[in-house]
Amino acid sequence: MRKPKIVILGAGYGGLMTATRLQKAVGANEAEITLVNKNEYHYETTWLHEASAGTLHHDRVRYDISKVIDRNKVEFIQGTAVEIKTEEKKVLLEKGELEYDYLVVALGGESETFGIKGLKEYAYSISNINSARQIREHIEYQFATYNTEKEKDDTRLTIVVGGAGFTGIEFLGELGNRIPELCKEYDVDFEKVKIICVEAAPMVLPGFDPELVEYAVAHLEKKGVQFRIGTAIKEGTPEGIIVAKGENDVEEIKAGTVIWAAGIRGNAIIEKSGFEAMRGRVKVEADLRAPGHDNVFIVGDSSLMINEEINRPYPPTAQIAMQQGEVVARNLAALIHNKSELESFTYDNKGTVCSLGEHDAIGVAFGKKMVGTKASFMKKMIDNRALYMIGGASLVAKKGKFNVL
Amino acid sequence: MRKPKIVILGAGYGGLMTATRLQKAVGANEAEITLVNKNEYHYETTWLHEASAGTLHHDRVRYDISKVIDRNKVEFIQGTAVEIKTEEKKVLLEKGELEYDYLVVALGGESETFGIKGLKEYAYSISNINSARQIREHIEYQFATYNTEKEKDDTRLTIVVGGAGFTGIEFLGELGNRIPELCKEYDVDFEKVKIICVEAAPMVLPGFDPELVEYAVAHLEKKGVQFRIGTAIKEGTPEGIIVAKGENDVEEIKAGTVIWAAGIRGNAIIEKSGFEAMRGRVKVEADLRAPGHDNVFIVGDSSLMINEEINRPYPPTAQIAMQQGEVVARNLAALIHNKSELESFTYDNKGTVCSLGEHDAIGVAFGKKMVGTKASFMKKMIDNRALYMIGGASLVAKKGKFNVL
């Protein structure tokens, strides 16, 4: 009897959770499971702001996929998916192709620049291991270059962060700790460095409790961050950015480093493959299948689910991706076992903590607001939990965060 | 009674040796000694190739001048000399000016690009702490960027070293050790990296024993270095260099990093101040005074002395600069003490060792040729000796090299 072929695209939070749960839920003879990922490692997307700032080495932010999958049940292929041919039940890779009976699309998101001119060319985005270490090295190079020039160009030391959402704020928190170190390393006067956060929305961290936001802003300002709220980036240039507050209030901010952390969209492959999507995200069914596709599940940043309470989409987070992965694993097992009833996904919000640097954070967990070291401790527990859910205690021991005050 | 004013410009090997010896040779009431240096630290010029490659942190390559001077006898001014007005016995600094009765010019050398187009703009030179860490960061940035690009540009990973003299070869030795580390750090295939040494002269390390040179070339080639001997750099470009072997044999070498390590000249201030000089180097008298200037001594890279045995100038080295510093200190003390007879300088060649990376070297010491770990050990002893001569045992303990096999 021919075993059904399950192909999982992507080994981020959603894909790897699907694979590791599925390998426990089905026998080796029941299905042929293939996991495809661009790199041979998984990385913690939610820790990339640390690797980008240089406060945590990028090797601490990734681990080999082979460490967490059961090779008897899951075949791993290092490759890049290019297009999904749903009618032919095939995935085209950069090299070769794969047939499937069931497909899980867990390819993550991409930076969304909303068509703002020059951002793709001149701004960095905190997207993956490669871009994180490039950002780290770029900033270090700017600092290293400063003193070599006869005419000192202080704008080399200006870092603009576009976006005061989760990623932007967490990155600013790390920069707050990192800049004094960089000043020491490269003999640069701290007073010369500028960190500017530009946010088009009228507020920082929309959706967060205002009291917590106030705490975050005050603490980041104390570390030297300047906020430009209600200010839109109009253009990225080789010298920095052009912003506008009102219609006529246009200004150039020269900066040696521009990080764009304000937008995310689904993977480009989604639209290329003909799925109906909004900014590359597919509004999935309750059982996480793509509408009209009985054998295609979509999880993580490329999926879209509406939070009925506020009638707005859930933000794409690691937490929701992992919970989706668990449900997809169970639903795939049900399909393999010929059960017709599939489970509906319901999001269990375990809380959200936004880090503000190594020993500071704000957040809500167990229904309680918290700030400072308490919130920071909670953040580390959340980070460790993600490791535990996918790789168990041994992965936590290897990659966990224990640098608690 | 007015104390004579002695001004020492530069706290490199020559200047700092002069200052530290002079502070022992004269009493606090006998002279007013002022040491002027651009930075508040001294750096080991002969170790900069390590900081540039990233094999030794730049903080290991420098120490505070205040640690080795006696503040009761020597006043330290952090400043940059711009011009010497010999007739007025004045030094103009970027900020302010200084009068002197006796002057020691120990301002070191500058990179000499021989008018080759584009080298100043596009090539780095191993000149000081600032440029060394910029080179380190530039190379790291090239490696970090490689994997972020869709179209991989292998020439990013090409490093061209212009010059197979002492600095070029020692830097190549460090790169040989560093490149495998960089490949690991940035997930780069070692096979993609190219290290090319371009040398216009028909040989590597001119003046060195041919047997030792052969050893060096073979060992560097084993580490991946390609030599292009008898090949001149014609131009530096934003993409790399243009070289020529013969008249018509012109070729472009694309490279993400170009290090120019082939030329040195005296400090620009020498010519600006009206001293007669060859490439910024003044052919000094036997007592190390500038011809026609009874009260100006010149030591180190801005001085020129002829090796009578071969009728060619001694190469500018730390060893010769320090020996000159010792003599100048004694001659200044003699002048202060109203002795008319000044000491003539004779170079005492204690040997030369050229490092080929952490545990390898070639050289001649105590009249014996040596290679490998033995030569490498000798090199470290030479490095430690320079520290000892200026700052004594405590400086050796703090900054010395003890990573002997």
* Domain limit, last residue, from B235, B262, B289: B262
Write down the mean pLDDT value for chain B. 95
- CA dist., res. B267 & res. B281, Å (int): 8
Question: How many helices and strands in chain B, by DSSP H and E?
Answer: 9, 26
B130–A148 C-beta distance less than 8 A:
yes
CATH number at residue A245: 3.50.50.60
- CA dist., res. A303 & res. A321, Å (int): 9
Mean per-residue pLDDT for A377-395? 92
Burial group, residue A404, by CB count within 10 angstroms (0-12, 13-18, 19+): exposed
- CA dist., res. B273 & res. B222, Å (int): 48
- Which residues of chain B does A80 touch, with a Cβ-Cβ cutoff of 8 Å? none
**CB-CB contact of A107 with A81 (8 Å):** yes
Domain count, chain A: 2
Burial group, residue B97, by CB count within 10 angstroms (0-12, 13-18, 19+): middle
- CA dist., res. A233 & res. A244, Å (int): 7
List the beta bridge partners of residue B307.
B312
- For residue A371, tell me if it sits in a domain: no
Mean per-residue pLDDT for A194-205? 96
Residues B90 and B58 reside in one and the same domain: yes
Q: Which residue of A has its CA nearest to B133?
A: A144
Judged by a CB distance cut-off of 8 A, whether residue B130 touches chain A is yes
pLDDT in tens, A2-55: 899 999 999 999 999 999 999 999 999 999 999 999 999 999 999 999 999 999
pLDDT in tens, B37-93: 999 999 999 999 999 999 999 999 999 999 999 999 999 999 999 999 999 999 999
Active site residues of A: 170
Which distant-in-sequence residues (6+ apart) come within 8 Å of A69 by Cβ?
Answer: A19, A20, A23, A35, A76
Catalytic (active site) residue B214: no
Residues A70 and A132 reside in one and the same domain: no
- CA dist., res. B7 & res. B332, Å (int): 11
Q: Which two tokens stand for residue B358?
A: 């952490």
pLDDT of residue B366: 83
Residues A194 and A320 reside in one and the same domain: no
- CA dist., res. A358 & res. B195, Å (int): 39
Residue of B134, B136, B186 lying closest to A133 (CB–CB):
B186
* Domain limit, last residue, from B206, B232, B262: B262
Out of B170, B199, B285, B326, pick the active-site residue: B170
Helix residue ranges per DSSP H, A198-339:
210-222, 268-272, 318-336
Structural domain harbouring B158: 119-262
Instruction: List Cβ<8 Å contacts ≥24 apart for A281-284.
Output: A281/A313, A281/A316
List the beta bridge partners of residue A19.
none
Residues B256 and B130 reside in one and the same domain: yes
Nearest residue to A175 (alpha-carbon basis) of A224, A111, A126: A224
**B10 CA to centre of own chain:** 13
Mean per-residue pLDDT for A140-153? 96
* Domain limit, last residue, from B205, B234, B262: B262
- CA dist., res. B283 & res. B278, Å (int): 8
CA distance B63 to chain A (A): 13
**CB-CB contact of B361 with B372 (8 Å):** yes
Burial group, residue B164, by CB count within 10 angstroms (0-12, 13-18, 19+): buried
What H or E segment, with its residue span, contains residue A252?
A: strand A250-254
- Which residues of chain A does B137 touch, with a Cβ-Cβ cutoff of 8 Å? 137, 140-141, 143-145
Q: Which two tokens stand for residue A250?
A: 């246009």
Residues A211 and A325 reside in one and the same domain: no
Residues B31 and B52 reside in one and the same domain: yes
Residue B200 C-beta-side C-alpha neighbours within 13 Å: 16
Q: Which residue of B has its CA nearest to A141?
A: B137
pLDDT of residue B404: 62
Residues B172 and B243 reside in one and the same domain: yes
- For residue A397, tell me if it sits in a domain: no
Residues A101 and A130 reside in one and the same domain: no
Residues A151 and A256 reside in one and the same domain: yes
Residues A309 and A251 reside in one and the same domain: no
* Sign of the alpha-carbon torsion through B12, B13, B15, B21: positive
> Quick one: pLDDT band at residue B405, thresholds 50, 70, 90?
low
List the beta bridge partners of residue B278.
B281
Judged by a CB distance cut-off of 8 A, whether residue A147 touches chain B is yes
Residues A25 and A100 reside in one and the same domain: yes
pLDDT in tens, B210-224: 999 999 999 999 999
Which distant-in-sequence residues (6+ apart) come within 8 Å of B309 by Cβ?
Answer: none
CATH number at residue B312: 3.50.50.100
Q: Which residue of A has its CA nearest to B124?
A: A148
Neighbours of B203 (CB within 10 A): 14
Residues B11 and B93 reside in one and the same domain: yes
- For residue A364, tell me if it sits in a domain: no
- CA dist., res. A193 & res. B314, Å (int): 45
Model ipTM value: 0.87
Burial group, residue B290, by CB count within 10 angstroms (0-12, 13-18, 19+): buried
pLDDT in tens, B154-195: 999 999 999 999 999 999 999 999 999 999 999 999 999 999
- For residue A361, tell me if it sits in a domain: no
Q: Which two tokens stand for residue A137?
A: 């090295």
pLDDT in tens, B266-316: 999 999 999 999 999 999 999 999 999 999 999 999 999 999 888 999 999
